[in-house]
Amino acid sequence: MITKNPSPAREVNKFKEHARTLIKHYFGSAARRIEFKSSGLTNFVFDVKHRDGNFILRISPDAARLNLFIKEQWAQRAAREAGAPVPEILEVGAEVIPHPYMISTTVEGGEATHHPERLAILNEMGQWAARINKIKTKGFGETFDWSENQLSQNDTFKEYLEKEYGYSSKLQTLERHRMLTRVQVRGLKKIFAAAARSDLKPALNHGDLRLKNVIVDADGKINAIIDWESCTSNIAPQWELSIALHDLGVDGMQHFLDGYGIKNAKLKEIMQLVKAFNVTNYAGAIEEAAKSKDKKRLDQYRIRFSGELDLYSI
C-alpha cells in the first residue's frame, strides 16, 4: 500500500537523493536545482533544473509501477507520432536506483481546470481525443502493444468486459448497496452483453482526459496532455467519453463532443454504453464508502443514480 503525499520529510530527502543520482547518471553532471512537487499521489515527483534543460522526474516506491511507466512511454510516443501535444519521456527504468523511475521533458504553462477559456479548451481536447482514439492497438485493457506478455492480453472486447473489467461484479456491488434497482441492473447487463457480442476494434484511449490533465498557455492553447498512467487499449470513443464527460456540465460536454466531431446519430448509438461504463466505474468508490461507513456519501451516490439530478430528460 503506497501512502499519499505529503510524505514525511525523511522519505522526501531519501528520494531526492535518488533523484540526484539519476540526474548525474543520465546527464553527466549534477542538477542546478531539484524541487519536490507535493502534487504526486503515488510517486515522488521532482522538478529538475539542469544546464541541459528542465525535466520532470517521477520515482515510485512500488516496484510494480515499472510496467505502468513503460506503458505510459509507449502511449505517449504513439500520441506524439500522431501529432498530439505530449511531453517526451526520455528514460524509464529501475536499474540505476532500486525503484522505478521516469524522466520526461517539462512543459511550460498551467493546468487548465480554472482557465477562463475552459470551453474552448474542452473543444480542443475533443479534437485531440479524436486523434488519439485513431491510434490502433492490439488487445483490450491494460496489457496491449507496450507489453511482450501476449498471454495477459484480452483478444476480444468480451474477454475484457468479463475478465479484466468485471462488469458483473461491479453490477453486484451497485445492487448490493442499493444504488440500482433490479430493473436497472438487468438493463445494464443487456447493454454490456450486446457490446460483448459486437466486433469492436481496440484503439488507444488516454483514459483520464480531463482539464486537470491538460497544460495550457495564457491564451488557453493546449501545450501538453499529461498523466497517461490510466491509458488503455479499449473501444473508442465509448471508454474515452465515459471518463472525459463524467464531471463536466452540459455546456462543457457539448464543446468536447463538438471538438471530437461526433454526429448526433452516432452519439445516440454509443451513449448507452458510455453511460453504462460511467455508472459501473463507481463500484470501487461505493465499496470504499461502504467500508468506511460513510452513509452521507452513499446517499449522495444514490441520488445520482436515481436520475433526480438530470435536468433535461422528462
- Average pLDDT of the chain to the nearest whole number: 94
C-alpha 243: how far from chain center: 8
pLDDT digits (tens, 9 = 90+) for 250-275: 999 999 999 999 999 999 999 999 99
pLDDT the model gives residue 38: 72
Q: Which residue has the higher pLDDT, 2 or 229?
A: 229
How far apart, in whole angstroms, are the C-alpha atoms of residue 206 and residue 1? 25
How far apart, in whole angstroms, are the C-alpha atoms of residue 207 and residue 86? 15
pLDDT the model gives residue 7: 65
Percent above pLDDT 70 for the chain: 97
Q: Is a pLDDT exceeding 70 seen at residue 78?
A: yes
Q: Could you tell me the pTM of the whole model?
A: 0.92
Q: Given pLDDT bands bounded at 50, 70 and 90, which one contains residue 40?
A: low
Q: Is a pLDDT exceeding 80 seen at residue 3?
A: no
Q: Given pLDDT bands bounded at 50, 70 and 90, which one contains residue 149?
A: confident
pLDDT digits (tens, 9 = 90+) for 191-227: 999 999 999 899 999 999 999 999 999 999 999 999 9
Left (φ > 0), alpha (ψ -120 to 50) or beta: where does 313 sit?
Answer: beta
How far apart, in whole angstroms, are the C-alpha atoms of residue 59 and residue 5? 13
CATH architecture of the domain covering 110-306: Alpha-Beta Complex (3.90)
Q: Which sequence spans correspond to the domains of the chain? A: 9-105, 110-306
CATH architecture of the domain covering 9-105: 2-Layer Sandwich (3.30)
Average pLDDT over residues 156-182: 97
How far apart, in whole angstroms, are the C-alpha atoms of residue 128 and residue 9? 39
CA angle, 116 as apex, 114 and 120 as ends, to 5°?
A: 105
Q: Given pLDDT bands bounded at 50, 70 and 90, which one contains residue 41?
A: low
Q: Given pLDDT bands bounded at 50, 70 and 90, which one contains residue 313?
A: confident
Average pLDDT over residues 135-140: 97
